[in-house]
Chain A
Amino acid sequence: MRKYLKLSLFVLMTVALVSTCAIGCGGSKETATKEPYVIGAIFSTSGVSASLGVSEANTVNMLVDKINKAGGINGHNLSVIIRDDGSLPDTTATLATTLIEQDQVLVIIGPTTTGETTAIMNISTDAEIPLVSCAAGAAIINPVKYWIFKTPQTDKQAVVEIYRYLQSQNISKVAIITSTSGFGTSGKGYLESEAATYGITLVDNQRFDSTDTSMTSQLTHIQGTDAQVVVCWDTDKASAIVAQNMKTLSMSIPLYCSHGIATPAFITEAGDAANGIIFPAGKLLIVDNISASDLQKTVLTDYKNDYLAKYDASTLSTFGGHAYDALYLVVGALENMNEDLTLAESRAAIRDGLEQTTNFIGISGIFTMSPTDHLGMQPGSLALIEIVNGAWTPVQ
């Protein structure tokens, strides 16, 4: 009997000890790791814009690992929910709603292209949640929308970069050939509206579909004009066909393309015909050639090395850089955010933080935002790049 008493006393004491420890340990644990910051991301990792979206999703996954390994943000781990919209605006809208209502994310990064971004701008505004788009269209931030930001250079900046160079080369007669896609149509608009400012006359204005087997007809028409250069505005595949067709037609005038061809895929696709093509793009492509005094040099080199250590070189592109900038802009805002805010307060605080970004050195450029500028890209972010012997080379 006494034996039993002893035993039960021992058991009781052990239980008590263990439970106090558990409470104590639990309590101290709670203060050590705080609740993670959950943010949402929507990228087109399948569908027509997949080559862009894959670079973006890879980049975000890589950076989140890096940030959490380094201890997170003010003791909070970062958790990102990445969704694929299949390059379809309708899907993007559904995904955005789910992220906002169900997953209760603090902020949304992406989507990849202008069409998908347009599809969710109202959703984000109505839900009062900040959106940092990775799409190029100038219409996203012009006019300024309270909750909407973006990171890539606008297509207008890309057009201006080409025109400024043409003007410096005393070239005034330009033929443009643009696709009927959203990207091509937006580019066409700026190619037309900016021409006069840079003393450029558009001597031909051709369109094509992505379904066309060849653009020789449009190019033959251009051959009938006195154009000094051709400017083509579309993503890699159709631009590669234009380049090859110009070779078939033995056209000797130079071809300029959009920043839509800033991917290794274009050089593979266009082959020989890629040589001599000039296009504007972020400095990431020519990071080895830019001077050490360039403020972006370190950031660009680190990103490139980190990315190549983890992923295939064929997916390294400026598009991943747009996601890098979007994520770090958000991280910057989270670092300055107060503790213990409600979800709505956190979202508002992140929005304010994004707007107060000053001299953030990113992949696409250096950002200083303001209530009137939700891109905040400082001049000199784009470089003109020529493809020489299948490699990107800066134009002097």
Chain B
Amino acid sequence: MSAHQFAQYLIDGLTQGSIYALVGLGFTIIYAVTRIINFAQGEFVMLGGTLSYVFAVTSGLPMPLAIIVAILVAAATGVVMYLLAIRTARRASVLSLIIITIGASIFIRGIAGNRLGVGAVQPPHFTGNTTILFLGAKIDPQELWIIGITLSVTILLHLFLTYTMAGKSLKACAINPEAASLVGINTKTTALTAFILAAAIGGIGGVAVAPLSFASYDMGAMLGLKGFVAASIGGFMSPIATVVGGLILGVVEKLAVGLSWGPFNSSYKDAIALVVLLLILLIRSGRLAAEERSA
């Protein structure tokens, strides 16, 4: 593998991994605060992607405005989903709530397929599609946007959680919900904040990836699966670990393609990625167990 090939695989992998990371972040935020695994997370990505096309191309809004509106609609869907489906069933068990999110995802997908059509759409690139030469790798400018957006979202999220009252409340609820409510944190509001954040981040992911790889009403399920894996590497608790997990997953997948030789071809890329994942999880669980013993 030559240097420029390696650069190509690396950047391709970081792009792919960024999407996994953004989806994973949504899982982590909602799980940490509410203990719910939100299986509708991929649908927020789908909404961001398909709606940015609808607003930019069908309605003819300027691209930046179309992007913002698409993200807002995705976030609003998160709010509606929380208020209608989750809060009204708050006395139900966590398992029931998780099943409700599966129902919500089927509902959102159905509406999208019905209203927006079942074909694949591609919104325009943010800044054209002239190939950029970087370290010998040929890159679509959108790939840099995706990686850049993911890094920005991660940093902003970190700042939000560390330095704002709302962010600190989220963290407090994640660590101990009962103690948090005892010191006067409104757990319902934090849960709503978590859904808004997760839906908006999903929407941002969809907006960023759609110009590169199309958006369609059924894209959410598959992305949700990979994002779930990224979140499980992060233990569903740490946003930073989730992002790192997503990036590792993406890069390993793409490098596995690059290493393909003879019968050992790219059909094994998912298998290789899963083996790496299992190793990471084994090491993590070993370390967690050790921490528990020492505690």
For chain A, residues 183 to 232, give those with C-beta under 8 angstroms from any C-beta of chain B: 205-214, 216-218, 220-221, 224
Contacting residues of chain A (77-97) with chain B, CB-CB under 8 angstroms: none
* Docked complex: B218-261 residues within 8 A CB-CB of A: 218-219, 222-223, 225-226, 254, 257-258, 260
A59 at the interface (CB under 8 A from B): no
Which residues of A have CB within 8 Å of B35?
none
Decide: A213 and B266 in contact? CB cutoff 8 A.
Answer: no
Q: Which residues of B contact A213 (CB under 8 A)?
A: 15-16, 19, 146, 209, 212-213
Instruction: Looking at the assembled complex, report how far the CB atom of A58 sits from the nearest CB atom of chain B, in whole angstroms.
Output: 14
B258:A221 contact, CB within 8 angstroms = yes
Task: List the interface of chain B (C-beta within 8 A of A).
Answer: 2, 5, 8-9, 12-13, 15-16, 19, 113, 118-120, 122, 129, 131, 138-140, 143, 146, 209, 212-214, 216, 218-219, 222-223, 225-226, 254, 257-258, 260, 265-267, 269-270
Residues of A within 8 A of B15 (CB): 213-214
Please give the residue numbers on chain A whose beta carbons come within 8 Å of chain B beta carbons, in ascending order. 46-48, 50-51, 54, 180, 205-214, 216-218, 220-221, 224, 236-237, 240-241, 244-245, 247-250, 265, 269, 271
Tell me, rounded to whole Å, the shortest Cβ–Cβ distance linking B266 to chain A. Answer: 5
Given contacts A211-B226, A248-B140, A250-B138, whether A216 and B113 have CB atoms under 8 Å apart is: no
B266–A48 contact, CB under 8 A?
Answer: no
Residues of A within 8 A of B267 (CB): 180, 207
Most chain B CB within 10 A, of A50, A51, A209, A217, is at: A217
| 17 further A-B pairs in the complex, CB-CB below 8 A; given A206-B260, A211-B219 | A46-B118, A51-B118, A51-B119, A209-B222, A213-B209, A214-B16, A214-B212, A214-B213, A216-B140, A218-B257, A218-B266, A221-B258, A221-B260, A240-B122, A241-B213, A248-B129, A250-B131
CB of A217 within 8 A of CB of B222, answer no
Q: Is the CB of A216 within 8 A of B120?
A: no
User: Across the interface, do B118 and A269 meet the contact criterion of CB distance under 8 Å?
Assistant: no
Measured CB to CB, the nearest residue on chain B to A208 is B266
Query: B138, A265: Cβ atoms under 8 Å?
Result: no
Please tell me if the beta carbons of A220 and B118 are within 8 angstroms of each other in the complex: no
- A208 contact set on B, CB distance < 8 A: 266
A248 to B269, alpha carbons, bound, how many Å? Answer: 22
Chain B neighbourhood of A51, CB < 8 A: 118-119
Bound complex: CA of A305 vs CA of B78, how far in Å? 46
Q: Is the CB of B16 within 8 A of A269?
A: no
Taking CB atoms, residues of chain B closer than 8 Å to A218 are 257, 266
- Tell me the minimal C-beta distance from B226 to chain A in angstroms: 7
A214, B143: Cβ atoms closer than 8 Å: yes
Q: Tell me whether B218 and A47 are in contact (CB under 8 A).
A: yes
A and B contact pairs by CB, cutoff 8 A, 28 listed:
A46-B113, A54-B118, A180-B267, A207-B267, A211-B223, A212-B16, A213-B15, A214-B12, A214-B213, A216-B12, A216-B138, A217-B12, A217-B13, A220-B8, A221-B257, A221-B258, A236-B120, A240-B214, A241-B214, A248-B129, A248-B139, A249-B131, A250-B131, A265-B119, A269-B120, A269-B122, A269-B214, A271-B122
Q: A217 touching B258 by the CB < 8 A rule?
A: yes
Which residue from chain A places its CB closest to the CB of B119 in the assembled complex?
A: A265
In the complex, what's the smallest C-beta–C-beta distance from A186 to chain B, in angstroms?
A: 14
Residue ID in chain A nearest B139 by CB atoms:
A248
- A237 pairs with B214, CB closer than 8 A: yes
Neighbouring B residues of A180 by C-beta, 8 Å: 267
CB distance from B106 to the nearest CB of A (A): 11
Within the complex, what minimum Cβ distance (angstroms) separates B129 from chain A?
Answer: 7
Give chain A residues whose Cβ lies under 8 Å from the Cβ of B13: 217
Contact between chains at B212 and A216 (CB < 8 Å): no
| Chain B hits for A212, CB < 8 A | 16, 213
Cα separation A221 to B12 with both chains bound (whole Å): 13
**Smallest CB gap from A263: residue in B:** B119
Separation in Å of the B274 CB from the closest CB of chain A? 13
Q: How far apart are A218's CB and chain B's nearest CB, in angstroms?
A: 5
Q: Please determine whether B254 and A217 come into contact, CB atoms closer than 8 angstroms.
A: yes
How distant is A90 from chain B, measured CB to nearest CB, in Å?
A: 15
Assembly CA distance A248 to B131 (angstroms): 5
Interface centre among B19, B146, B209, B218, by most chain A C-beta atoms within 10 angstroms, is B218
* CA–CA, A225 and B265, complex, Å: 14
Asked if A217 and B118 sit within 8 Å, CB to CB, the answer is no
User: Whole-angstrom distance between the alpha carbons of A143 and B116 in the complex?
Assistant: 41
- Bound complex: CA A214 to CA B222 (Å): 15
Among A224, A241, A248, the residue within 8 A (CB) of B138 is: A248
B216 cross-chain contacts in A, Cβ below 8 A = 237
**Given A237-B120, A269-B122, A220:B5 Cβ within 8 A:** yes
Nearest CB on B from A360, distance (A): 32
Asked if A50 and B223 make an inter-chain contact with CB atoms under 8 angstroms apart, the answer reads no
- Chain B residues contacting A209 (CB-CB under 8 Å) are 222, 270
- CB-based contact B266/A220 at 8 Å: no
For B129, list chain A residues within 8 Å (CB).
244, 248
Identity of the chain B residue whose Cβ is nearest the Cβ of A53 in the assembled complex: B118
Nearest Cβ on chain A to B135's Cβ, whole angstroms: 13
Residues on A with beta carbons closer than 8 Å to the beta carbon of B266: 206-208, 217-218, 221
**Are B8's CB and A217's CB within 8 A?**
yes
Closest to B141 in A: A248
Q: Which residues of B contact A245 (CB under 8 A)?
A: 140
Q: Which 4 A-B pairs have the closest CB atoms?
A: A50-B118, A211-B222, A207-B267, A217-B257
B202 CB → nearest A CB, Å: 15
Question: How far apart are the CA atoms of A178 and B5 in the complex, in Å?
Answer: 21
Across-interface contacts of A236 in B (CB, < 8 A):
120
Instruction: Give complex CA distance A217, B258 in Å.
Output: 7
Chain B residues whose CB sits within 8 angstroms of the CB of A220 once the complex forms: 5, 8-9, 12, 258
**Contacting residues, chain B, for A48 (C-beta < 8 A):** 218
Q: Is the CB of B19 within 8 A of A207?
A: no
Q: CA separation between A360 and B223, bound complex, in Å?
A: 46
Q: How far is the CB of B99 from chain A (nearest CB, A)?
A: 19
Q: Are A206 and B257 in contact (CB under 8 A)?
A: yes
Report the Cα distance A240→B214, complex, angstroms.
Answer: 9
